[in-house]
Chain A
Amino acid sequence: DTGVSQDPRHKITKRGQNVTFRCDPISEHNRLYWYRQTLGQGPEFLTYFQNEAQLEKSRLLSDRFSAERPKGSFSTLEIQRTEQGDSAMYLCASSINSGLTGELFFGEGSRLTVL
C-alpha cells in the first residue's frame, strides 16, 4: 500500500496523559499536513510541513501540541496533558510540491478519545 499511513487508528487515554500519533506520507510527497476533525465538523487545519520545516501552525495548535517531521519523512503529533476537548479524529495528509492545485491525499486518521 503506497498511501498515507497513520498509527494508531484508535487511542483511548485518560485526561492528563500524553499521546503521540505517527504519520507516514506517500514517499515522494514533500508536503505534510495535520488536520483535526471533531464530530459534526469538517477537517480543520492544524499545521503544515514542507520537508522537515514546519512552516505554519494554526491557532488551534495550543502549547500542549507539538508536531515534528525529522528528516522530512514521517511526522509525529504529540499532545501533552490531554483534555476531554482534545477528543477528535486527527488526520494526516500529504501532497507533492508541484501540486499547485492543492489536492491533498489523506490517511485514515487516528481517533483520540480522552476519558
Chain B
Amino acid sequence: AQSVTQLGSHVSVSEGALVLLRCNYSSSVPPYLFWYVQYPNQGLQLLLKYTSAATLVKGINGFEAEFKKSETSFHLTKPSAHMSDAAEYFCAVSDQRSSGYSTLTFGKGTMLLVSP
C-alpha cells in the first residue's frame, strides 16, 4: 500500500523567509502526489498535484513542489512566507484500488507557523 511521511509536525518561519515542508512517499507504482492545505475549522483545499508530467509543479498562492524519484520525495516550498500561509499542510499519495478507483492516503500533516 502507498504511504507518505511528513517530517516535522510543526515548522516555524519568519514572514518573508523560505518555506520548506518535507514529504517522502512509498509507492509500488509511479505515484500521483498531492499537497493540500487546511485552515482552522475548514476542509482541505488542493495546493498542487504531480501527475507524472513535469517534475516541478507550481500551485496556488506561490507554492511549488518538486518530484524526486531517486529520493522518493515531494517537498513543498515557497520563496517568501506570508502571514496568511499559516495553516496545516498535508501531503497525500493516490492509492489505486484493484477495483479501478483511487483514494488518497494522507500524511499526518505539518503545521506551518509564520511569525512577523
Contacts and interface: CB of A to CB of B under 8 A. Distances in A.
Contacts of A108: 41-43
Given A31-B101, A104-B104, A111-B41, A41 B94 contact: no
B9 A42 contact: no
B32 A106 contact: no
Contact of A55 (B34, B90, B101): B101
Interface of A: 4, 6, 31, 33, 40-45, 48, 50, 55-56, 91, 93, 100-109, 111
B106 A42 contact: yes
Interface residues of B, number: 28
Contacts of A43: 44, 90, 104, 106
A101 B32 contact: yes
Given A102-B94, A108-B42, A42 B109 contact: yes
A17 B39 CA distance: 30
Nearest to B103: A45
B14 interface: no
A77 to B, nearest CB: 15
A105 B45 CA distance: 8
A57 B18 CA distance: 41
Contact of A56 (B45, B97, B106, B108): B97
A109 B43 contact: yes
Contacts of B9: 40
